Amino acid sequence: MGAMSSLAFASFLRAPNPGPMTLDGTNTWILGAPGSASVAVVDPGPPDRDHLKAIEAAGPIELILLTHRHLDHCEGVDGLLERTGSVPVAAADPALCRGVAPLRDQDRIEVAGVTIEVLATPGHSSDSVCLLATAGADRGVCTGDTILGRGTTVVAWPDGDLGDYLATLDRLATLDGVPALTGHGPVRPDCGKIAREYRAHRDERLVQVRAALSDGARTPADVVAYVYPDLEPALVPAAEWTVRAALAYFAPDADRNST
């Protein structure tokens, strides 16, 4: 088994794909009520042999779930299925599903002794979902990249959308005291609290982007230099996506294909 969370039904295996966008690596969550004969796997992560082997060893796997379509979360699905044989794969994006219908908001799934409620949480990507898992008296919510263990999330514009993301944060703000089982980095003990902090951070950034524009910033690169003056070069592209998302939020009719 991987690292334990505070929840008896949830543990994670961290993939060896650290980087500026993935923090220490992707967290693959293994969900199963104590004593359950099977598990559900959330986000197999990258196609790393040893990582997939460890996921397989945590099985038998009853269902694979994906929080969203980004490759650091889903690219390992094929390799995992090669090891396990046929296991259904559920995601909001129909292109990623195998053997089951796409996930929709408020779907309820019973798997491995755990009840999973699907929350459509677009913003980071258009297909992002959070998975609110309950086993007995315990609850935890798999947040993918919508809430991270450290720092804040990129709105991967143009697929991601800042208006959607703000609405998502307001929805997650209602999950007081529910641990956020994050897609990268450590567990966050209180999803509701973090969602409110993220919301406040976004609101601050929007004020800064407005200030940059009124000070004469014209291009996304200008705005990045103004809002994030000391940014590590590896993070500049991510900051540009976020700034483009903010600019699109202020001017929603602007052409998303013009960069």
C-alpha dihedral sign at 57, 191, 174, 120: negative
Q: What are phi and psi of 204, to 5 degrees?
A: -60, -45
Q: How far is the CB of 73 from Zn ion (least distance, A)?
A: 6
C-beta of residue 40 within 8 angstroms of C-beta of residue 32: yes
Q: Could you tell me where the DSSP H helices lie in the chain?
A: 49-57, 71-74, 77-84, 162-172, 191-214, 220-227, 236-250
Which residues of this chain interact with Zn ion, rule CB under 5 A? 70, 145
**Closest to Zn ion by CB, 36 or 126:** 126
Q: How far is the CB of 207 from Zn ion (least distance, A)?
A: 26
C-beta of residue 149 within 8 angstroms of C-beta of residue 164: no
Q: How far is the CB of 221 from Zn ion (least distance, A)?
A: 23
Task: Let me know if 190 is exposed, middle or buried by CB neighbors in 10 A (0-12, 13-18, 19+).
Answer: middle
**Closest to Zn ion by CB, 70 or 139:** 70
C-beta of residue 212 within 8 angstroms of C-beta of residue 222: yes
**Closest to Zn ion by CB, 62 or 164:** 164
Q: Report how far apart, in Å, the C-alpha atoms of 205 and of each of 144, 146, 172, 201 are.
A: 22, 17, 20, 6
**Closest to Zn ion by CB, 48 or 145:** 145
**Closest to Zn ion by CB, 70 or 205:** 70
Q: How far is the CB of 48 from Zn ion (least distance, A)?
A: 17
Q: How far is the CB of 67 from Zn ion (least distance, A)?
A: 8
Q: Name the residue with the smallest CB distance to Zn ion.
A: 70
